[in-house]
Structure 1
Amino acid sequence: MEIRHLEYFMEVSRYKSFSKAAEVTHTSQPSISKAIKDLEIELGITLFYRSTKYVKLTDAGEAILEQAQQIVSSFRNINAQLEGLTKMQTGKIHIGLPPITAVTTFSHLLGAFKSEYPKIHIQLYEFGPKKIEASLQDGLLDIGIFTPEDSDHFEWIWFEQDPLSVIMHPTHRLAQCCNVDYEDFYGEQIILYNSDYKLHDIIIEGCRRAGVNPEIAFETSQRELMTQMVAANLGLALLPSKICKDLNPEVIVSRPFSDSQLCLQLALVWKKGRYLPHAAHELLTFLKNYLSDEIRTQA
């Protein structure tokens, strides 16, 4: 058994697809399939149910996954410690970011960092915020992007605060309004973040406080699907205002949301007490300096 076999196993279980696991690991699908088969033979168990439509962990596979995560996490920490001691301005950072809320600010930060440190490889994983938080706890990610609350287990640096706007089809009745409030959602179909996002719970709770029982048309973690459904006039959605500025006003319009407290707040988060590779420390130091310079420039 090799560590890469466990890594391939984790990626197949993560994406429920041999082809997707091959893509993210830059490996051929036959190599992934052979590695999983070798692992099953060595362990004497079947790890996945396989069909033409899906790949699913068996009960034994579920049990092995937890052990595999711990082994790979420990192995990565060993490599990270050696790498941090022996290499400068090189290495790899595993970062988890949510697909809907990964907005332009982080792209600019990452672009500036890569210009300064071209030899550092950034591996991005698109998960919902709750899964990112759990993956940080399990040591599967170095850094996560979400709205942190647990100061006992995490440390963080804030980098984004962006109010939410309501997006809608240009012919929608609320397009005539200057702003939108929870009460305006009465009788409307809402396209909402799925339950992996804390905003899902915050929006529903806000509606209920306003006496509105929200009619959820669809829940998703995919921003493109959300905007496509709004463009098809199938409902309303809430997105960060910076994203709304890039939407085509001929098919989607946005209006400010009255609840000023409802905003996207993002931080770069890491697990307290966990060893971070040298490359991750470089990113955090760069980010602190970058944001300080930006604040001074705005002042």
Structure 2
Amino acid sequence: MKFRTLRAFIEVVRQGGFSPAARTLFATQSTVSKAVHQLEQELGTPLLERGGHRPVLTPAGEAVFRRGAKLLADRDDLLGELDEIQGIRRGLLKLGLPPLGSSLLFAPLFARFRQRYPGIEIELSEHGSRELEERLRSGALHFAAAILPVAAEFDSEPITRQTLMVSLPSDHRLAARSSLRLTDLRDTPFILFDHGFALQRIVLDGCARHHFQPQVAARSSQVDFIVELVAAGLGVTFLPAIIASQFQSPQVRHLPLDEPGIEWTMAMAWRRGAYLSGAAQAWLDLLRESKDLAQPAQ
């Protein structure tokens, strides 16, 4: 029995459903569902009745939940005790995060890290990708969230890969499509993020490969303002799927961008060869542990 599948099941029960469990576990709903299904296959019995509004425990599920919750708690206690032995009790972790997507992607991780290492202080800096890269290069940060690919001078750990969505006014002539190419938008004004954001570089590089330069109607660093401009009919913008899902409006449609080679992959980067303190290594270990849940079932 793998801890990642057991943790997924426990959180589905605790949170009352797959969607809230996915948010808690820093994973997608389908990933959590697959993990629970894998656990059921391994144990040879259903653990949840899925027909109603909320999943209901089967008798076997009640036993697995009762013992599994204790097992996970004992594991966390053991890790905490080992951390005490190894001296990871205090320290400073300096992280750089971009404004786009940080709250959705990192808040659950911060909560888990704080619970596990209450004596480690987290110092956050929020900037665009270029500024974060400079701060990481100078040693002002231990880690910085970055969009792949990163410069060769950095190591990185991928966190999430997201489809890019085209956000356009619901009355736009292309709004009825199921997906869009960049060339479909050649004559439509773009609303882009400021120059320091990696997302605008991804979009503009894609346009260059199609041999056109888009008309830029506006730029901003505020995603909510950009979406409001789209709703007002000023143009179209581009958002990672996880961000677009948070902005549902009758005035805006979000369609997948069908462009091979264009995607938004968030990673955590650090200076290649840099010394990682106990606090920094603990953060990296937590990232990798959390990402284990997102691996496909074997």
The answer to whether the superposition gives a TM-score over 0.5 is yes
Q: Deviations over 1:39-98 (max 9, x none)?
A: xxxxxxxxxxxxxxxxxxxxxxxxxxxxxxxxxxxxxxxxxxxxx999523222111111
Q: Say if 2:250 is the partner of 1:250.
A: yes
Question: Which residue number corresponds to residue 117 of structure 2?
Answer: 117
Identity, % of aligned pairs? 26
Q: State the Cα distance separating 1:104 from its structure 2 match.
A: 2.3
Report how many residues are paired.
215
| SS of equivalent residue, structure 2 residue 174 | helix
Q: State the Cα distance separating 1:225 from its structure 2 match.
A: 2.0
Question: Which residue number corresponds to residue 7 of structure 1?
Answer: none
Question: Which residue number corresponds to residue 280 of structure 2?
Answer: 280
| Aligned-partner Cα distance in 1 for 2:133–2:230 | 29
Q: Deviations over 1:103-131 (max 9, x none)?
A: 62333333332232233222221111111
Question: Which residue number corresponds to residue 207 of structure 1?
Answer: 207
| Aligned-partner Cα distance in 2 for 1:88–1:213 | 51
| Aligned-partner Cα distance in 2 for 1:105–1:122 | 16
| Aligned-partner Cα distance in 1 for 2:148–2:203 | 18
Question: What letter matches 1:295 in structure 2?
Answer: Q
- Counterparts of 1:74-93 in structure 2, within 5 Å, are 88-93=88-93
| Aligned-partner Cα distance in 1 for 2:293–2:207 | 39
| Aligned-partner Cα distance in 2 for 1:195–1:111 | 31
| Aligned-partner Cα distance in 2 for 1:102–1:260 | 25
| Closer/same/farther in 2, CA of residues 213 and 155 from structure 1, 3 Å limit | closer
Question: What letter matches 1:139 in structure 2?
Answer: G
5+ residue gaps, structure 2, are 1-83
Question: What letter matches 2:259 in structure 1?
Answer: D
Question: Which residue number corresponds to residue 268 of structure 1?
Answer: 268
**Cα pair 2:88 2:117 within 8 Å, conserved:** no
Question: Which residue number corresponds to residue 176 of structure 2?
Answer: 176
**Cα pair 1:98 1:129 within 8 Å, conserved:** yes
- Counterparts of 1:1-299 in structure 2, within 5 Å, are 88-102=88-102, 104-149=104-149, 152-295=152-295, 298-299=297-298
Output the aligned Cα RMSD.
2.4
Which TM-score applies when normalising by structure 1?
Answer: 0.65
**Cα pair 2:192 2:216 within 8 Å, conserved:** yes
| Closer/same/farther in 2, CA of residues 189 and 196 from structure 1, 3 Å limit | same
Question: Which residue number corresponds to residue 18 of structure 1?
Answer: none
| Aligned-partner Cα distance in 2 for 1:293–1:99 | 25
